[in-house]
Amino acid sequence: MYKRQLQELGVTAETREPVLQATLLSLRGWAGMTRQFEERPDQTPVQPWPARLIDYTAVQLVLDVFAARASLRLSGVGSSGLDGALASPSAPNPRPNRELAYEGFVLAQALDVNIVALRREENARAWLAEVGAFEDVERRRLLHLAYERRHRVGVLDGLVAHSRMRAVSPPAPRFQAVFCIDDRECSTRRHLEEAQPDVETFGYAGFFGVAMAYQGLDDLRAKPLCPVNVVPRHRIDERAMRPDEEAAYLAARRRIGSVAHSVNVGAKSMARGGLLAAPLGIVSMGALIGRCLAPRLTEKIANRLTHVAASPPMTRLALLRRSEEPDEDGRAVGYSIEEMADVVEALLLTTALYDSSKPGGGLSRVVLICGHGSSSLNNPHEAAHDCGATGGGRGGPNARAFAGMANRPEVRALLRGRGLEIADETWFVGCYHNTCDDSMVYYDQTLVPDELADEFAHAKAAMGVACELDAHERCRRFESAPPSMRVDEALAHAEAHATDLAQPRPEYGHATNAVAIVGRRSRTRGLFLDRRAFLVSYDPERDEDGALLERLLGAVVPVGAGINLEYYFSFVDPVGYGSGTKLPHNITGLVGVMDGHASDLRTGLPWQMVEIHEPVRLLSIVEAKRETLERILAANPGMAQFLMNGWVQFVRWDPDSDEMEVLTPTGFRTYVPANPHIPVVEYSAEFYGGHSGHLGCARANAAFRSVNPSVNPSGAVGPGGPDGPAEVTGEDPAERAAAAPAGVKS
C-alpha cells in the first residue's frame, strides 16, 4: 500500500523498519491509539470507529512525500533529487574534545590521581579513554542503580527485621476482608488491622477473577472490567428489581439528557442563545463559585438534585446465564453455575482464604470483597486513578459479582463436591472503596441475613475507622494539609480534594509505588511500608507443585510492572513519555488528552500525578522455594526474559527462614542484610505523623494488640501522640465511628 511512497522517499529495504517506526512515533500517541481501536474496540468509551494502523501509516507517508516535494521545490531542487537530498550528510572533521579534557582534569583532582604521571602522552590518553567511557548515560545508569540499591536495602532489611521479631498469631478473625493488591489499599489494610486486630485481610487482583464486560444501569454500552491483556468472554448486566421502576428511571434520565442537549444546542443559536445567556450564566457562575469555595457542600447539593430528578431504583446483577445465545459481541450473557464455582474456588485457594484444616474452611461469618476506584471532578486522567486490574475501570461491580456468586447455594453445593465446605452462616458482601475521598459503598445489603446484622455493622464501622485513618495518612502528602491535621479533618480534606474544581491533585494515585510482595500476610502484618507496596496473598505451604504461584505471577507481574513502569517513565521524561502539566489538557474524542486544542496525543501521566514519585523499578519479592521459582521461569520463557532483562527487580524470600536471594543475570544471589533494625511504634501514625516525604519501614504493635500482653489497649495513645489527631483504643470501632464524621456510605 505504501511501497511507492517509501520508494520516492529513498527508503531502502534495510532502513524500512526504522523509518516506519520513526514515522509512527513522529506524532506521539496517535499510532498507539489507532492500534487500540483496531485490536480492542470493546474498550472504546462510546462506539468503536473503524481504524487500521496500516491505513494510518499510509496517510502519514503520503503527507511526508508531499512535504518533501514542497521543501525541495522551495529550495530549488527538483523532485528527481529527492533521494540525494535525503541522503545522510558526510561526517564533519574530528575536533579536539576540550570538554572531555577538562572533565578528565577535574576528575583527576577529585580522585587524587597523580597529575605528574598524566604529563606523559600515553598515560593521558589512557586516562581520557577511561573518562570518556564513563560518559553521561553510563554515569546516570550507575547512579540510578545506586539509587535503587538504597531503596532495595531499606525494604529488604525492614522485612528481615520484622520477621525476626517475636511472631504473634492473630486471633480467630471476627470478619475477613479481601482487597485489591493495589498499593493504595496497603495502608487501608494496615489501618484496619490496627483499629481491629481480630480482622484478617487478603490481597487479590481487583477484578476478583470475574473477567467480564459490565453494563450498569446508567451505562450506554458494556465495558470490560478485567486486565487489559484479557478479552472478557462474559457479560453481566445490572437490572432493577422491578421492571417498571427501571423503565421509569431510564425514562427520567432520557428526559434530563434531552433537556440538557436542547439547552446546549439552543445556547449556540442566535435567538434562544440570547434568551438563555443570562439565566445560564448566573447558574454556571454560581456552580463555579461553589465548586471552588465550598466543594463538599456543592457536591452534596448536586447529588441531591440529581437523585430528586431521577432516583435510582434498587438493583441486582443478572449473574446466571439464562440462554446460550451470545450477545452482539459474541460474549456469553451471564455465568453458568460451574463457571461461577471456578471463579470462587480460584480466589479461595490462591489467597489461602480457605483453610481446609479449619471448620468451615476458616471463613468468618462476614467476608468483605472490597473493590476500589476513584472519583474526582478536575481530572481528565481519571482512569489512571482507578483499578489497574480492571483495565482502568472501577472494581465495585466485580466485587459485587463475586459476592453474589459465592453466596449462591448451587455454587456452594458444587464447591462442596470439590472439597471446599463453606458454612451456611458465612456471607460474602461486595463493597467499593473510593480511594480519592475514602468513602465506602456496600452492595446488596438487604440480602444480608438478619442474624448477621450485628457482625455486618461491626465490619462497616471498622472499615469506617480504617478509611478515616487512611485519609489522614494520605493527607500528609498534600501541601494544602497542615502536619497537625486531625483524623476527622483529614477525611473532610480528602472529600474536598475530590470535588474541588480548582484542585489539580485530587489524588496522587499510584505515585510512590515501589514494592510488590507475594506471600503470606502474617509475614508483613503490622509492617509500615509507606503505602508503597502491592500486597498479594499467597501461601507456599498450600501450593506444593507451584501451580497456584505460576498462575499468580502470570497476572501479578504484568499488572504491577505495567503500573510501575508507567509512573517510572512519566517521571524520568515528563514531556516525552509523560504528558507534562495537566493544566492545559483538554479531553479529545473521549479517548485521550491534548494540550489546548492542538498537540500530540499525550500518552503518559501528568506531572501532578508523578511529582512525588521515586523512579525505581518495582521490587518484586516472592515467598517461595528456589526450585519452585526456577521451574516456573523455565516453563515461562516470556516471564523469564522479562525478569532477566531487568524490567523489575526480583527477590526470592524463603518460606521457612528470613533468607533472601536477588535474581541476577547469572542466577539467584544471596542477600546479606546491611542493618536489620527498624523503629517500633504503637500505631503507624506515630511514625509517619509530621512527615511529608518518603519513609522507611517500621513495626506497629497495634496490629497485634489483642493478643500481645505487652500492649495495653486502654492506655494506648492513638495516631499523632497525646496531642495528635485522634485517640484509637482497643474498644469496639463502632464507638469510635459514632463520634466521627460519616466515613461509611451505604
Q: What is the pTM of this model?
A: 0.83
Residue 655 above 90 pLDDT?
Answer: yes
How do residues 517-543 score in pLDDT, each as one tens digit?
999 999 999 999 999 999 999 999 999
Amino acid at 255: R
Q: What is the pLDDT of residue 476?
A: 92
Tell which residue, 503, 515, 520, 491, has the closest CA to residue 563.
515
Give residue 5's identity as a one-letter amino acid code. Q
CA angle 562, 563, 568 (to 5 degrees): 95
Mean pLDDT computed over 106-131: 85
Residue 309 binned pLDDT confidence (cut-offs 50, 70, 90) = low
Reply yes or no on whether the pLDDT at 478 is more than 50.
yes
Q: Which of 518, 559, 540 is nearest to 642 (CA)?
A: 559
pLDDT exceeds 50 at position 727? no
Calculate mean pLDDT across residues 712-721.
33
What average pLDDT does the segment 101-124 reach?
84
Dig out the grid coordinates for 469 from the structure: 485513618
As a 3-state breakdown, the chain gives helix, strand, coil percent values, each rounded to 5, of 50, 15, 40
**First-to-final CA distance of the chain:** 58
Q: Which residue has the cell 597523580?
A: 114
Between 728 and 45, the more confident residue is: 45
User: How buried is 722 (Cβ within 10 angstroms: 0-12 exposed, 13-18 middle, 19+ buried)?
Assistant: exposed
Average pLDDT over residues 220-233: 89
Q: Cell for 603?
A: 500518552
pLDDT of 82: 53
Taking residue 101's Cβ as centre, other Cβ atoms within 10 Å add up to 13
Residue with cell 518533501: 68
pLDDT digits 0-9 by tens, 374-401: 988 777 777 678 888 898 899 999 999 9
What local confidence, expressed as pLDDT, does residue 63 receive?
87
Please check whether residue 501 is in contact with residue 378, taking contact to mean a CB–CB distance below 8 angstroms: yes
CA–CA distance, 714 with 728 (Å, rounded to integer): 9
For residue range 438-447, what is the model confidence (pLDDT) as tens digits? Answer: 999 999 999 9
The yes-or-no verdict on residue 469 having pLDDT over 50 is: yes
CA distance 535 to 517: 5
pLDDT of residue 347: 96
pLDDT category, 466, cuts 50, 70, 90? Answer: very high
Task: Compute CA distances 46 → 43, 234, 399, 589, whole Å.
Answer: 9, 19, 24, 10
- Looking at residue 262, its pLDDT comes to 75
Please determine, for residue 283, whether its predicted confidence score (pLDDT) is greater than 80: no
Distance of CA 713 to the CA centre of its chain: 35
CA angle (170 as vertex; 167, 175 as ends), nearest 5: 155
**More confidently predicted of 687 and 282:** 687
Mean pLDDT of 648-666: 95
User: For the CA atoms of the chain, what is the radius of gyration?
Assistant: 29
- Summarize pLDDT for 141-186 with one digit per residue, the tens: 888 999 999 999 999 999 999 998 876 666 789 999 999 999 999 9
> Hey, which bits of 287-385 come out as E strands?
315-318, 332-333, 366-373
Of 228 and 465, more confident: 465
Residue 96 — very low, low, confident or very high, per pLDDT cuts 50/70/90? low
Q: Taking 70 as the threshold, does the pLDDT of residue 346 lie above it?
A: yes
Longest Cα–Cα distance in the chain: 96
Share of the chain above pLDDT 70, in %: 88
Tell me what percent of the residues of the chain surpass a pLDDT of 90: 47
Does residue 111 surpass a pLDDT of 90? no
Q: Using N-to-C axis directions, what is the helix angle for 184-195 and 453-475, rounded to 10°?
A: 120
Any idea where the domains of the chain sit in the sequence? Answer: 3-85, 175-238+315-670, 242-309
Q: Does residue 431 carry a pLDDT above 70?
A: yes
C-beta neighbour count of 507 within 10 angstroms: 27
Q: How confident is the model at residue 595 (pLDDT cuts 50, 70, 90)?
A: confident
What does pLDDT average to over the chain? 85
User: Which pLDDT value is given to residue 19?
Assistant: 87
Please give the pLDDT value at position 729.
34
pLDDT at 167: 63
Q: Which residues of 534-572 are buried (b: 16+ CB within 10 A; e: fewer)?
A: bbbbbbbeebeebebbbebbebbbbbbbebbbbbbbbbe
Task: Output phi, psi for 312, to 5 deg.
Answer: -70, 140
Question: Could you give the CA distance from residue 436 to residue 510 in angstroms, rounded to a whole number?
Answer: 12
pLDDT by residue (tens digit) across 573-588?
Answer: 998 889 889 888 888 8
pLDDT at res. 200: 95
State yes or no: pLDDT of 77 exceeds 60: no
pLDDT category, 427, cuts 50, 70, 90?
very high
Q: Please give the pLDDT value at position 289.
A: 80
Of 38-52, 85-99, 267-281, 370-384, where does mean pLDDT reach its minimum?
A: 85-99
